[in-house]
Structure 1
């Protein structure tokens, strides 16, 4: 600041979020100017309104004892401005604080205030503003200094300066983090703690802060006096930002709406694509309007564009205070519904090809999936979101969360639609699949039979959804050792799928794969191998070599080859499945662990005991962590590991 202001007639602007410390920096700068050059005049001008600006200029005139300053016919702005232009009057610095409202300086009044900012070689002006547009118009783009968020060590240093009690450094860092490293919020919190000590400490403050949103809002609304700030300005972070929100609402209502909408996202990684979907619902000019709205919010430092131009971020505290503002104006429910509407439309099914988008959107649905809406339309949107997110979790092997989401979707649909509505039956079907993966075979069978019976009745025997239920029921029957009924069901599903969907449709190939499994478990290895090769060849062609379903076929073929003593090809297939699953699904995915298990079992059969032991150790530990110690697969794996250790001992 000193370097920039050393130039003749210099103007600079400190721009940043309200409460980030712009005024405090300006105060420090003003003190340093007086210390370095005691003969320099330093003038502080509160510039939030035209009235405050006039009041400040009147105070300057009084301080300078300018003639005619109390004459009602004298223009006080011109009087002070002319004095400042005279170089013989000596050096001066002017701090123009809270210059946020473009209308204050550039309104169409007869005399615009900006015309009374003197250009003088012996004076410089420092502007503090939340509004990038105002700052640029007052000082020029090249003279703007953006004030960033404090770093952890800076925030902790501020805490050390403010707190009058003993505290632990880790507690202080935790407090700084939950307050988003925001100087005003930290000052506010430390004043509250100091005032209530010794009953209040950092841990008790944090407990209160985290207890509920209502308590959090109450703490953030506490106005802690700070003699260095404008006495008319609130020291509450909530009130400070609400002033900004209201100003945006007046200047550009659509930007205030966008801010309201964005307050429901996770603060990090907000995808612009979802914002575009929201904007496009409001007419042909939605995308252009979005760009202007984002420019406004970025100009107020409420939203930040990341290095990835399609991703935005916000301060979590800004989002929370936005929602406090919405609550105070009775607009909270409206924007919560709008967010649910857009995100439920945008979150795709959890199929493999959508994983990237699901992963990107997942952090943003965490809060909204926890609370069930009230009206019918919103409940159905919520159920659809739970269904898609639950399917994604099933595909990723996160079975407990998948079960919870599918149960909630099923409960909602049963109450709002009916027990036999197709959407309800989709939830029944999905829940059955997740239950099977967790080894809950009896309940999975019940759910599958319910879905099948209702789908046959409502949709017909050859509807693709009905055939999916036939195939799913066959699978759970197989896992319970009911092989004959399982084979019968699988053949029915396959025959009908080939007829209705075609030989290479993914659902048909799933039926081929499932039939191969039940054939293998009955010792019909040649036909099982034939079916697995058919499924693998077609899946590689239709889905690609790295698709999870293709890798299932690779793994299944490896196992049936192993059962026939074709160890060399079985090992090649198992290694391919394992390597690709680790790459695509991750090391701890249940399917990846299945490949580790299969390879360990193969090595055991080949008496390659040390290699088998290493793999068994990994997979047993993984299964306990992912599936639980009581899961049938975990128990079988542990039993095989024990058998290996006995063989090694002998």
Structure 2
């Protein structure tokens, strides 16, 4: 079956993988060594499509395990694989089986930004942890895998042979000069441009941001920008003094990008403080696939609560961020991407102003508000947001209000992962949420009961029936106390307990509870209500 790469991506914005995440650059053929590793992979994908239109091309953002797992689910949906909707199905295995079947069409699998080998080959895993993702990288003559990475060691772990690793060399001076000319909207003296490139170490991101700054300011020339750059480099102090983790870049490159970022950021912030606020928030998301709708929700909430931000229009702010090359649009304006070094510089700036914790709380509140329950109708929204939550999982906030938000967010994320059959990750999150709720208060409320119900379901999914039964009993008793014996939530909780009892062959008590649930639903909902009929079926079983 043919895959139309250009149309396919625009149609599938909600999915966690794409065939090609950017529009094709018509100038690529003329300057093949100027673009970065991801753009080179994109061009390769297009050439595969042009040369072999029957070949499937699957694109996976491989920076974190959740993004890889969600990508596999997206591939399963695209291929319409049987069994993919079964919550107990191993979707990664289903995809791997299809890719390894030489009776299917040929394919290319692109793992972009596979910078951390732990994503595929974790060294420390729980005894009952799931199979490492590296086991689902197909070995087949029917297709090939293309990996892009900033980390040579990670690339070697994935491809397994140094002969298959190609080093992308630093940009040469003539290539950098051509890039700067392409980016500038005005002409400039060649000597000035060469001096600027020397100062920027020919780093593509720094060149792009410098050109964006010059283009935005009509009175700024290449020479005046270079003078400001050198003054800023001397006076800026060290925003990189704290250990922010491995950027897989040398320190000179980081400082160069940081200086170009700061010049552009300060200019943009003076023009629109609200755009600077938006970039501050975006620095806490995962760098790829930041949904447009969730950023708009933040803007609406901030304005409605009269939060201390300027009331700049959202679209104007996004346009300004794009003009300074801080963010890029990923197809049809439905999602945005932000370079990892731009995120790094933004977070470092926030830290230098002691604003990082305040923005971390805003990000948590936004995610807790917008990440829905894990019910199936919310699946698409959960798929979009789940990759952005990973940074929050291990950071329980100290305040009571924030801790409640954190527990609610983890509960909903666990709920979604349980529906997707990812029981190990779901258990980890549900257990953390349950522990946090117990720490906050010993009084049982509805939020606590929801967490307990999710945890019980996850424990059952992992085969830990005794633990699931204990938690489920507590949940049922809590619903009875708060909502009454005949409330729908109480009856659902009782039905869940009966299911766990049935799994353990405790049929006598299971029959008694199922009968009580059936009687209650017949009385409250009627004999023909779907929930009543489901109870009747469960009792018959």
TM-score by length of 1: 0.46
Q: 1:428 is matched with which residue: 452, 460, 466?
A: 452
Q: Paired residue for 1:290?
A: 314
Q: Paired residue for 1:384?
A: 408
Q: Paired residue for 1:353?
A: 377
Cα offsets for 1:233-276 (capped at 9, x unmatched):
x9532233123222222221100000000111111111100011
Shift of 1:292: 0.7
Cα offsets for 1:315-372 (capped at 9, x unmatched):
1221122111111111101111111111111111111111111111111111112311
Q: 1:272 is matched with which residue: 260, 283, 292?
A: 292
Q: Paired residue for 2:22?
A: none
SS at match of 2:457: helix
Q: Paired residue for 1:255?
A: 275
Greater share of helix residues, 1 or 2? 1
SS at match of 2:217: helix
The 2-side partners of 1:381 and 1:46 are apart by: 52
* Aligned ranges 1:236-635 → 2 under 5 Å: 236-283=256-303, 289-503=313-527, 507-517=531-541
Cα offsets for 1:476-530 (capped at 9, x unmatched):
111111112111101111221232244555544542342232xxxxxxxxxxxxx
The 2-side partners of 1:448 and 1:263 are apart by: 39
The 2-side partners of 1:439 and 1:250 are apart by: 57
The 2-side partners of 1:41 and 1:349 are apart by: 58
Do the aligned partners of 2:177 and 2:194 also contact (CA within 8 Å) in 1? no
SS at match of 1:367: helix
Q: Paired residue for 1:570?
A: none
Q: Paired residue for 2:54?
A: none
Cα offsets for 1:370-422 (capped at 9, x unmatched):
31111111111111111111111111111111111111111111111334222
- 2:192 is equivalent to residue 44 of structure 1: yes
Cα offsets for 1:56-109 (capped at 9, x unmatched):
xxxxxxxxxxxxxxxxxxxxxxxxxxxxxxxxxxxxxxxxx9999xxxxxxxxx
SS at match of 1:304: strand
The 1-side partners of 2:490 and 2:280 are apart by: 43
- Matched positions, count: 335
- Structure 1 residues 265, 215: CA separation in 2 closer, same or farther (over 3 Å shift)? closer
Do the aligned partners of 2:257 and 2:341 also contact (CA within 8 Å) in 1? no
- Structure 1 residues 416, 504: CA separation in 2 closer, same or farther (over 3 Å shift)? farther
Structure with more contact order per residue of length (Cα contacts < 8 Å, sep ≥ 6): 2
- Structure 1 residues 505, 417: CA separation in 2 closer, same or farther (over 3 Å shift)? farther
Q: 2:217 is matched with which residue: 134, 137, 157?
A: 134
Do the aligned partners of 2:328 and 2:338 also contact (CA within 8 Å) in 1? yes
Do the aligned partners of 1:344 and 1:382 also contact (CA within 8 Å) in 2? yes
Unaligned runs of 5+ in 1: 1-20, 33-39, 49-96, 101-126, 140-183, 185-208, 225-233, 518-650
SS at match of 2:192: strand
TM-score by length of 2: 0.55
Unaligned runs of 5+ in 2: 1-169, 182-187, 197-205, 222-228, 230-239
- Structure 1 residues 283, 241: CA separation in 2 closer, same or farther (over 3 Å shift)? same
The 2-side partners of 1:430 and 1:99 are apart by: 47
- Structure 1 residues 505, 253: CA separation in 2 closer, same or farther (over 3 Å shift)? farther
Aligned-pair Cα RMSD in Å: 3.8
Do the aligned partners of 2:214 and 2:220 also contact (CA within 8 Å) in 1? no
Shift of 1:465: 2.0
Do the aligned partners of 2:283 and 2:347 also contact (CA within 8 Å) in 1? yes
- Structure 1 residues 99, 317: CA separation in 2 closer, same or farther (over 3 Å shift)? closer
The 2-side partners of 1:414 and 1:357 are apart by: 29
- Structure 1 residues 220, 252: CA separation in 2 closer, same or farther (over 3 Å shift)? farther
Q: Paired residue for 2:202?
A: none
The 2-side partners of 1:298 and 1:440 are apart by: 50
Shift of 1:47: 12
Do the aligned partners of 1:131 and 1:300 also contact (CA within 8 Å) in 2? no
Do the aligned partners of 1:350 and 1:388 also contact (CA within 8 Å) in 2? yes
The 1-side partners of 2:189 and 2:336 are apart by: 43
The 2-side partners of 1:422 and 1:445 are apart by: 19
The 1-side partners of 2:454 and 2:360 are apart by: 27
